[in-house]
Amino acid sequence: MEYGADWSSLPGDPRFFRRTGPHTLAAVVDAAEGEAPPRRLMLHRVAPLALATDQDVSFCLNSRRHAAALAATNAAAVIVHGNMASQVPQTAVAIVVDDPLVAWTKVASLFHPLPPAKAGIHPSAV
């Protein structure tokens, strides 16, 4: 999928979420609180395994349920639990973490940070 394509299936629809990046692999590994071999790699966005490109980071929770998607992914990096690191394709970097879902939320927040909250009372409040 090219970057100009339909974003409806991807996390962080740019119509609603601010996007940052690209980020270095080191920054993504740091955000995930994981471990990965050092590599000079820039990651441009987060994406599901099936839609990820060679510029994206993805994640995999369950090796049996998502084994086919993991084997076929084009992602540049994949967040996985240590027991799945050997299943990550050689074309991708395995980012090994204790809890892939928690790491995924932290990495997604790196690419799509929430806007700062504004203190105050709306003029229409009664």
Q: In tens digits, what is the pLDDT along the chain, a chain of 126 residues?
A: 444 445 455 555 566 666 777 999 999 999 999 999 999 999 998 999 999 999 999 999 877 788 889 999 999 999 999 999 999 999 999 999 999 999 999 999 999 887 777 888 888 887
User: Do the bridges between strand 45-46 and strand 23-24 make them parallel or antiparallel, or are there none, so unpaired?
Assistant: unpaired
Label residue 24 exposed, middle or buried (CB < 10 Å: 0-12, 13-18, 19+). Answer: middle
Burial zone of 62 (CB within 10 Å; 0-12 exposed, 13-18 middle, 19+ buried): exposed
Tally of structural domains, the chain? 1
Give the residue numbers spanning the domain of 102: 23-111
10 found inside a domain: no
State the Cα–Cα distance between residues 118 and 44, nearest whole angstrom: 28
User: What pTM was estimated for this model as a whole?
Assistant: 0.80
Please say whether the beta carbons of 62 and 68 come within 8 A.
no
Which amino acid, one-letter code, is at 6?
D
Q: Say which CATH number the domain at 67 has.
A: 3.40.1390.10
